[in-house]
Chain A
Amino acid sequence: GENVEQHPSTLSVQEGDSAVIKCTYSDSASNYFPWYKQELGKRPQLIIDIRSNVGEKKDQRIAVTLNKTAKHFSLHITETQPEDSAVYFCAASPGGANSKLTFGKGITLSVRP
């Protein structure tokens, strides 16, 4: 089955700096890669996703890049703000009608004011 790994497990940045969170996956059939943000005490929420037919996707201060050859994808957050502090999960799925997501273990991002 699919195995998704996230690196590093914690990340601390200064407010205004950029943060990059990396994930690797094992199943070459995976073609859908979402990112979830979980604030303390709240539910995980989808913040951005990418499908295998594109290499990069942006939404305001966040972007995701995908390298299918190397089987890794990354979340980029620019101009970080304290409210970006949260746990971020990456996931992968082979797609199709009934595909399930396999999640990484999560990374705790802390943005220092």
Chain B
Amino acid sequence: DVKVTQSSRYLVKRTGEKVFLECVQDMDHENMFWYRQDPGLGLRLIYFSYDVKMKEKGDIPEGYSVSREKKERFSLILESASTNQTSMYLCASSLRGRTNGYTFGSGTRLTVV
């Protein structure tokens, strides 16, 4: 069974902390994405990557950065966590080529206190 695995299901962090959210996929997908999901706002794209060491800003990149050092791993970094970054974070991956649907991870619910 193909998988996108997010390292933590729940996280609680303090304001100002540097936070790392990890995502690993085992499908040899080239494309990887980070979304945040908030009630009434749907899924909003933070950052995405089409290849190792490549990254592009999504719709709401402010306060976030990413790292893709290996094809299977895509990390989301909150440089200085703030309470408005409390959210559900979803990682997804897809195959390059003809547009295909995403495979999502189970999500990380981050609470910043």
Contact = CB atoms under 8 A, between A and B. Distances in A.
Interface string B36-50: 000011111100101
5 contacts: A44-B90, A95-B99, A100-B33, A102-B45, A105-B42
A103 interface: yes
B41 A49 contact: no
Nearest to A104: B42
Contacts of A105: 40-42
B43 A89 contact: yes
Nearest to B44: A103
Chain A binding site: helix, strand, loop or mixed by DSSP?
Answer: loop
B99 A43 contact: no
Interface string B54-79: 00001100000000000000000000
Contacts of A103: 35, 42-44
B101 A34 contact: yes
B31 interface: yes
A16 B103 CA distance: 30
Interface string A1-42: 100000001000000000000000000000110101000001
Contacts, number: 53
A45 B101 CA distance: 9
A54 interface: no
B46 to A, nearest CB: 11
Given A43-B90, A43-B107, A106-B42, A101 B102 contact: yes
B40 A43 contact: no
Contacts of B33: 100
Given A49-B101, A89-B42, A93-B99, A100 B48 contact: yes
Nearest to B31: A98
- Identify which of B31, B90, B104 gathers the most chain A CB atoms within 10 Å of its CB: B104
B41 A97 contact: no
Interface string B6-24: 0000000000000000000
Contact of B99 (A36, A42, A99): A99
